[in-house]
Amino acid sequence: MRKLNTCELNRINVGEFKNSAKTPVIVVLDNIRSLNNIGSVFRTSDAFRIQKIYLCGITCCPPHRDIQKTALGATESVEWEYCESTVECVTNLKANGVLIASVEQAEGSTSLNDFNYDFKSPIAVVFGNEVTGVDDAVIEHSDCCIEIPQIGTKHSLNISVCCGIVLYSLFRAFYEK
């Protein structure tokens, strides 16, 4: 066994990425403070050809060197848009037929293990602030909440880790259907 070199990975270029079919998943970042977390979300979204990222509230926008450090150029491939209000963003998405799923430990949430979506329309997954999570007003405008099952003492994951787990799960579900 040996590690593959870059040429053997058959990576597409940015132009090919932009013209390719996307996984019908939209990421909404609700007031994310860490620029490294934002960059990681871009990189993960590139890996799974996510449709779009919305950067809301205090979430910093590219270009910024600390975002670029972890994004490794994914800010050039993944489509993104800034919205001042997360509530307004999810309200607009919902009005366009997008299912809104906040990723949060909430009353009535669905375990990621049990979450099934038919992908007849895109789904937007909302990831919240590193300290306070998804804002309560955003949860009120959500169609559902998805919770990642955890059995440790913290019951908390870094937003970029959480994003990776959820996006991979949705990616698998879409391509395995």
For residue 71, which phi and psi values (nearest 5 degrees)? -75, -25
User: Would you put residue 108 in left (φ > 0), alpha (ψ -120 to 50) or beta?
Assistant: left
In a domain, 60, yes or no: yes
pTM across the whole model = 0.97
**What does the pLDDT look like over 19-49, one tens digit per residue?**
999 999 999 999 999 999 999 999 999 999 9
Minimal CA–CA distance to 28: which of 144, 99, 128? 128
The whole domain housing 80 covers 21-176
| CATH number of the domain enclosing 111 | 3.40.1280.10
In a domain, 4, yes or no: no
CA gap 37, 25 in Å, rounded: 19
What the block records as the tokens of 163 is 């994003």
CA gap 90, 100 in Å, rounded: 7
CA gap 10, 68 in Å, rounded: 23
**What does the pLDDT look like over 133-167, one tens digit per residue?**
999 999 999 999 999 999 999 989 999 999 999 99
Give the count of domains, the chain.
1
In a domain, 12, yes or no: no
Describe the chain by its helix, strand, coil percentages, rounded to 5: 40, 20, 40
In a domain, 9, yes or no: no
In a domain, 10, yes or no: no
For the chain, report the end-to-end CA distance as a whole number of angstroms: 31
CB 101 within 8 A of CB 116: no
> What SS3 state is found at 101?
strand
Minimal CA–CA distance to 29: which of 148, 136, 138? 138
For residue 133, which phi and psi values (nearest 5 degrees)? 75, -160
**What does the pLDDT look like over 62-85, one tens digit per residue?**
999 999 999 999 999 999 999 999
